[in-house]
Structure 1
Amino acid sequence: MNKLLWRQFSKQVIRSKQLLVQRNNQQEIQDYFRQLKIQSAKQRKDFEDIALQLLSKEQDKCKAYFYFLEISSDITLKTLLQEIFTKAFLELNDFGNKQLALQKWQLIPLDFIEEYMKGFDIKPADIQDAQVKILTLLQNKKPLQAMKLIMIFKDQLNMSIFIDKFIQLDAVQDFSKVCITSPNLLKDFLIKLTQSDKRHHQKFATELIRKYNLKKEDYPQLIKIQNRQAIDRTYFPKIDEPYERVEERLQGYPYMLCHVIDKLLENNKVNEAYSVAVRQDLNDQYNLNGVLIENPLLKYDGFGITEQVCYQEDPSGFIQFSDFNIHEDQIQFIDSVEKLVLIKDIILNAQITGFDTEFCHYFDEFAIGGVAIMQISTETNVYIIDIFNLREKLELLQFLNNYFASNKIKIGHSVWNDFTVMAQNMNLDQTVEPKNIVDLTFLYNEVFPENKNNVSLANQVYQLFGKKLSKKECFSNWQRRPLRKCQLHYGAMDAYICIAVYLKLNELKQLDIVQLPQLQQQHQTQQKQKKIQQIYKGDHLRYDLQFQKIIDDKQNMKFLVDAMLKKLATFLRNLGIDAEYNEKNDHQTIEQQAIAEQRLIITRDKKLYEKPQLKAPCFLLSDNLNTEQQFDEILKELQFQIHEDKILSRCVKCNFDHVIQISPKTAQQYLDFKNNDSFGQIKVFWQCEKCLQVYWEGNQFKNSIQRFTKVAKNQDDDKQ
């Protein structure tokens, strides 16, 4: 529409009162609206002036306002026009016709609804059909707009009827904001979330349960899901691996054993499934037939390595107590205060001890595992202390505080994590500084400085003794009582081998045992200072300085969005920003992808952000932000560049940056033209060359252009 016609029509509309109110001129106004193009701030300002003049000349401004809202309802620029007329009407401050305002409230743009209600003195209770309007918005996949109304009318709504819709629309973070004000609603919401088959919904439910200190027992479905996922992750990385250890570990947990049977059946392991079902008295549920296969972990036991005792493997390739002339009677299980009193002085007076711990293995994400047993070895004896059952005993607490505070040398492998968990789990005296703890990794590097990447305990044992260290019992059930003899052998060996490795290293290079703790402390201090110098970490942003260029590239910054932030990934892609989406929720996978593709991770996962060994650049979002607020927070911190010419240039579905124009004939191969008449009126389509997703210029496209252009302009305004 040329400028002359614009001016002529504007004057005609402003001067003609009849044109505004008579229905026989509605078509003329609608035709004008259809041709209208508002593509710049100046054009918008011009039309805002026109709208204000149109309404100000009317005696019944309220009636005229609703007239313009109604006739613009099927116009491409509907949202923008209604926003402009609403802004003009509110500016005129004419709120006399409350009855009409109540009748027409659903026409009001939601961003202005509160100001509108305040102007007409409309109370939320005065509006009876808010629930219907909200359900309509959800039906039309507009959860953010629905949330605006929910926050206004929440006191008079039946919130429970919205839960399923918000979960289906993947808008759970938005809906959670209203749920937290009502314990019953929050519980209903969490139960529905745990029933979702989407992993990130389950993870979000877990976050909320933790955050608000809720009882995990109220959400049994979530616990079952977490148990099953943990079983799959821990015991079934490869279905061809022996199933025996998972059966041994899960004795006494029938519903978890049922999951194991189901997994075996899924992979055509019928005889194995039948065997577990029969042994665990679960075959009444399955009625399976097959050949009974023994579980050697349950059938055989003895003081020795599991490979030999249970699987009849040749033991000559494994390190054993017989190699050190240690016998079974030199291994003691300390499961009472009386036994602890008898041996505590022996341990505290030993010049050198080796120590290790085994943890309680739980399968839900709420359980605090803690230490099940602690093994302490002298050069001639090993003592296995039943931490699981003695942890409440004052005598045990006093002994452990004395042990770690003593000046005697204590040798272990990767011991600081064990000590930290024990200190937290058992409430050890935090004022007592653990003394003279020496890590075998440090000792090994002192003797073999050229082998710094080969320091696992198993590798050290193999290099020093030419034999393997048995690891079959690593994932055993360390809470069970009594422990199997194979478990006792395994646990005792993990402590004694620390002494044996030290003695062997000392043969190769005379180690000053008195000076070792001090040397190790100096080494740790140097490494810590070096690490601090290499890592930048703020409240929201952290990165290893080797990835500084990722942070500095403001023109072409690339992001990796985690599984909880899919809507943010879509938002960024609409702006033409390179944003990949990782749905696996696995820290290692996310970091590897970020480093390989030189991307900045965006997450709400505080565990990932605080992970000490994380090197990939990472941005931690604040809680309880909607998508646009999340974007604003990132932009404020990073100050990266948005290019207006790249808006909607990237495939929203797959993130590919090459979208080509195709003909309507080609588009018919991918779209259902028969059941959508509007496709026939569209002349231009675009298609992603990678995933073949088709796009076209409809109302949604135009609204998106306006929305994201506005976002880009706001960025430029903020910089000025």
Structure 2
Amino acid sequence: MYNHRGRGRGRGRGVFMRRPNRNKETETTTSSTPHNDNSPVSIRSTTASLINKVTINLELDEATETWFAQFRNLWNFVKRSPPTSNMLTQHLDTVENPYEHVLRLMYNSFDFKLAKSKSLTMTIMEEFKIYSTVSRNRIHHLLTSEIKIAAFNVVRKQSQFGLMKLVVDIYEMLNDCDIFYDLIVQMIENKEYKDACQCSSLLRLQDKFGIYEFLVPLVLQDKLVIVEEFLNDSPHHQYDLVSYLDSILGQPSSIRITLDNYIVKQEIPHVKFEKLSYKPWRKLIVRLIKIYNLPADVSPYLNKKRNEGALYFLLNKRFVDQSFGYESWREMVEEAVQDDENLQKDLVVQIALFGTPSEALMWANYYKIPREDWPYSVRLFNDNPDKDRHQQQNLQPAVEENWDTVNKKEIKMPVLKLNLPPDCVILVDNPEGFRTFLDYIKTETLIGVDCEWKPSFGVQRNELALMQIASRRAVYILDTISLAHQANLWQELGKTVFNNCDILKLGFSFTGDTSMILQSLPSLSFNQNGGFLDLLTLWKQIDKHPKVKLPFEVHSGGPSLGMLVQICLGYVLDKSDQFSNWERRPLRQSQLHYAALDAYCLIQVFDVLRRCSESVGFPFEDTCYHLMTVSKGKKKKSRTNIGKSKDGPRINPQPPSPHYEPKPAEQVKFVCDSMLQGLGKNLRRCGINTAILENNEDHQECVRFYQDERRFILTRGTVFNTLNGYVTPGHCFNVQSEDVDEQLKKVLEYFNVTVTKDDVFSRCQSCNSNSFVKISKSTINAIALEDSKARQLEYAEAIDLADEATGFSSEDDDFCPPPISYTRKWETCTEEKIDFGLCMTRNGAKIQIRDVPEGILNKHDIFYICEDCGKVYWDGTHFERVLANRLQGIVMK
């Protein structure tokens, strides 16, 4: 975490920024956004002499070196134990300043750079923490500010956050946290945003910085884990950052164009430009709002765009699908449009375009839109509503509308009616009614359960509005909004009904309802194995049995409750009230009817499934019992035993290849799942543009790469079943072989990709770039000289660079560029693009000169530097050997 040597891809270049002086009132507020030229993002320079310097001698004298060797031998034998503790304590009693001396021991430990929990370094520091606590009165005066800064700078030379926290605690840095402010400022000036963010949080200096110093750059670098860790302890930064991110959506230009000027001006390195588009930006805002439970007004521009999308969705549902009742349509339109005058005008225009000027006129009057903003057809209709106009006739839909019913021409079956008297649909909205309901329902043995909540088009969290519980004789509709705070009543419902295995509870695709219940009614805790039967799962099981025939046949539609009702009952469900504002009170009669029917029809469908199954000898009761009690446990068990069964998990068949003709390597792009990182490196070696998921990235990221960059997806195992459903057939490939070389051959064969010698090694295996700076021997040595001047004290133990001596990979020595005589399919530019002072490429990447052994610098005449990650390559000697071995039969002659 605090090791600065490795950096990702980027487009910016690192330069120093100035920071304006802050007063007490403005330390934690922001006045403008980074996309403005007058943004307060510059960082004030500092001249503190101790910044990034260790002012104490870290070398061990001869006597200490001898003692330390003995201590290491003892530790190797007994690890952390009383003997090692006593030996270290006795040694510290003999030194002049234990706080200073233990830094030398820590720094010279062989495992200092990767100090894990049971390492020698952690043993020393954990024992010293005890020692410093016991001896505090005697040695505390030796703990000076200079020692604290030295300890901070020493521990930053390693990569483990746990050791960093321990050192901060031992050296009591929080008591003097302000002395580290300049160090963090210097990190920001050096573009070390990650370290600055983590150190400011660790040292409780969050309030000294706004969002622009490092949070916004980290967002642009897509280092969101670091950002969220910081925000967890800083509520005002949560609001400020989300407000800024939302303000970008309010700009007239695209996100990329809006931020380009800011990125170039501040020269932020390693920007993930593929993230600077609406979808990932919007998802980030929504994620942060949900994580930190921020109010809706923090994102007005996101809400506006969501409402625009909601409006067009509602228009499509009403005028194209014709599946909205008028009242539901009006409620949801008012919810989407609200007070936005532009959306109000757009609503009138769109309705007029659908050929209903009378409805458009109604909305124009309702929102008091000036006549000059009315569409022409609406003005004509207003002036003479009875006149027969040719323009309007052309716009009228072919089917006459009926606002309150489903389009009858599209329905071949009658609409399902609720076969209960009106007084058997009972709305429960007070405690007395709830107790009456409990007395009734606990005597039933079979009930149907369904829930309703208002569709949410914004970032607000949905809340449960109704819960319907139906028996054969009545349907109770529980108003959860009115009764939400009646915790004792919901607890009683959970105890007597939801946790009662003697009552069979029917639902359809009940996972969503369950999540909503647990979220909105935490008092209603229940065991989902306590007598719950999902009819969707039961339907799938019955459908596998060839002898079970349900009464009606329907040849279109997906596995929905409406479809199951049609197959079992021969009726369609009227969904005209499905998209309703279920939070508005009082509820309409049509809403109550819809809600009651959705729960009651579950019992009707269950009866038909039972009757049809038992008539052909299908084990209906056993199947239901198995689904209610065994399925979840069995699912978990099979998940942990994947690959152990004889046949293994069922994988969907691979569709045909999308390529019938050969495709050159440069015309194909892939994304490799995290399980296929070795294959990804092989594809890059062949010059193929390949994105590779990191271990911590979700498999669904492959779909984003497919959608945004049109990359073919490479995955394996059961993940293929999931990802393949999101893409065009043939655009996701299931890699079956365990051998990396065999995987490469199969992928190239399936996608019909041709690889030539000019493709091989034309891309950087570290970052996938194909843009390189071509430099001479004298230039690479000049860069090495500049870098050596800037180096801090090197680590005590020697670093073996032999593994990286070939540049492209540390896996073996085959990853070298081919001789210059070949024409590479890469982009090269001249060495004038190098910033010698900062040892950076024009894209802001630190040149990784330290990874090149000194002998190599004088051995070759030409070097190549990747512009995006700074990795250095040179002309290899193994090119022909690679072609003759690992790439034999792959590369065209």
Query: TM (normalized to structure 2)?
Result: 0.44
- In the superposition, relative to structure 1, how do residues 159 and 87 fare at CA in structure 2: closer, same or farther (>3 Å)? closer
1:354 aligns with 2:437: no
Identify the residue that residue 496 of structure 1 maps to in structure 2. 600
Identify the residue that residue 298 of structure 2 maps to in structure 1. 219
Distance, in Å, in 2 between the alignment partners of 1:189 and 1:230 is 24
Q: Note the alpha carbon deviations across 1:180-232, whole angstroms, 9 max, x for none.
A: 77655554333212212344445434444555x46425614266257437726
1:383 aligns with 2:460: no
1:519 aligns with 2:571: no
Report 1:77-476 matches (<5 A): 159=210, 162=213, 166=217, 173=224, 184=236, 187-197=239-249, 198=255, 199=278, 200-211=280-291, 213=292, 215-216=294-295, 219-221=298-300, 224-225=303-304, 227-228=306-307, 231=310, 235=314, 247-251=330-334, 255=338, 258=341, 260-261=343-344, 264=347, 274-275=360-361, 277-278=363-364, 280-281=366-367, 283=369, 287-289=373-375, 290-291=377-378, 309-310=404-405, 313=408, 317-318=412-413, 320-322=415-417, 325-367=419-461, 369-393=462-486, 394-406=488-500, 407-430=502-525, 435-450=530-545, 455-476=559-580
1:533 aligns with 2:641: yes
Secondary structure at 1:483 match in 2:
coil
- Letter paired with 1:336: N
Distance, in Å, in 1 between the alignment partners of 2:230 and 2:196 is 12
Contact between 1:391 and 1:397, CA under 8 Å: does it hold in 2? Answer: no
- In the superposition, relative to structure 1, how do residues 456 and 184 fare at CA in structure 2: closer, same or farther (>3 Å)? closer
1:366: how far off? Answer: 4.7
- In the superposition, relative to structure 1, how do residues 208 and 446 fare at CA in structure 2: closer, same or farther (>3 Å)? closer
1:579: how far off? Answer: 0.8
Shifted more, 456-465 versus 155-164: the winner is: 155-164
- Letter paired with 1:219: V
1:485 aligns with 2:589: yes
Identify the residue that residue 34 of structure 1 maps to in structure 2. none
- Letter paired with 1:530: S
1:458: how far off? Answer: 2.2
Secondary structure at 1:489 match in 2:
helix
Contact between 1:575 and 1:708, CA under 8 Å: does it hold in 2? Answer: no
Distance, in Å, in 2 between the alignment partners of 1:153 and 1:314 is 67
Secondary structure at 1:350 match in 2:
coil
1:478: how far off? Answer: 1.2
1:498: how far off? Answer: 0.8
Distance, in Å, in 1 between the alignment partners of 2:515 and 2:760 is 50
Contact between 1:374 and 1:387, CA under 8 Å: does it hold in 2? Answer: yes
- In the superposition, relative to structure 1, how do residues 354 and 87 fare at CA in structure 2: closer, same or farther (>3 Å)? closer
1:413: how far off? Answer: 1.2
Contact between 2:562 and 2:572, CA under 8 Å: does it hold in 1? Answer: yes
- In the superposition, relative to structure 1, how do residues 522 and 434 fare at CA in structure 2: closer, same or farther (>3 Å)? closer
Secondary structure at 1:309 match in 2:
coil
Distance, in Å, in 2 between the alignment partners of 1:612 and 1:353 is 37
Distance, in Å, in 2 between the alignment partners of 1:580 and 1:656 is 13
Distance, in Å, in 2 between the alignment partners of 1:555 and 1:458 is 47
Q: Note the alpha carbon deviations across 1:215-254, whole angstroms, 9 max, x for none.
A: 4256142662574377269647789556965542243665
Contact between 1:332 and 1:383, CA under 8 Å: does it hold in 2? Answer: yes
Secondary structure at 1:388 match in 2:
helix
Give the alignment's Cα RMSD to 1 decimal.
6.2
Shifted more, 189-198 versus 278-287: the winner is: 278-287
- Letter paired with 2:625: Q
Contact between 1:559 and 1:580, CA under 8 Å: does it hold in 2? Answer: no
Shifted more, 216-225 versus 171-180: the winner is: 171-180
- Letter paired with 2:247: Q
Shifted more, 379-388 versus 448-457: the winner is: 448-457
Secondary structure at 2:447 match in 1:
strand
Contact between 2:448 and 2:602, CA under 8 Å: does it hold in 1? Answer: yes
- Letter paired with 2:476: Y
Structure 2: segments with no counterpart, 5+ residues: 1-51, 60-152, 158-176, 250-254, 256-277, 383-400, 549-556, 653-671, 725-742, 745-758, 775-819, 835-840, 853-868, 874-893
Larger RCO of the pair (alpha carbons < 8 Å, separation 6+): 2
Contact between 1:226 and 1:365, CA under 8 Å: does it hold in 2? Answer: no
Identify the residue that residue 706 of structure 1 maps to in structure 2. 848
- In the superposition, relative to structure 1, how do residues 286 and 425 fare at CA in structure 2: closer, same or farther (>3 Å)? farther
Contact between 2:308 and 2:336, CA under 8 Å: does it hold in 1? Answer: no
1:276: how far off? Answer: 7.0
- Letter paired with 2:679: N
Q: Note the alpha carbon deviations across 1:367-394, whole angstroms, 9 max, x for none.
A: 2x23211222222332222122112223
Q: Note the alpha carbon deviations across 1:484-529, whole angstroms, 9 max, x for none.
A: 2222222122111111111222332328886564232234443443
Contact between 1:354 and 1:495, CA under 8 Å: does it hold in 2? Answer: yes
Contact between 1:447 and 1:508, CA under 8 Å: does it hold in 2? Answer: no
Contact between 1:354 and 1:376, CA under 8 Å: does it hold in 2? Answer: yes
Structure 1: segments with no counterpart, 5+ residues: 1-85, 94-110, 116-122, 295-305, 537-543, 561-571, 602-610, 618-639, 662-682, 715-720
Secondary structure at 1:479 match in 2:
coil
Identify the residue that residue 679 of structure 2 maps to in structure 1. 556
Contact between 2:499 and 2:527, CA under 8 Å: does it hold in 1? Answer: yes
Contact between 2:762 and 2:770, CA under 8 Å: does it hold in 1? Answer: no
Contact between 1:379 and 1:499, CA under 8 Å: does it hold in 2? Answer: yes
Distance, in Å, in 1 between the alignment partners of 2:363 and 2:700 is 32
Distance, in Å, in 2 between the alignment partners of 1:282 and 1:708 is 70
1:646: how far off? Answer: 7.5
- In the superposition, relative to structure 1, how do residues 500 and 707 fare at CA in structure 2: closer, same or farther (>3 Å)? farther
1:358: how far off? Answer: 1.2
**Greater helix content:** 1
Distance, in Å, in 2 between the alignment partners of 1:385 and 1:612 is 40
1:281: how far off? Answer: 2.3
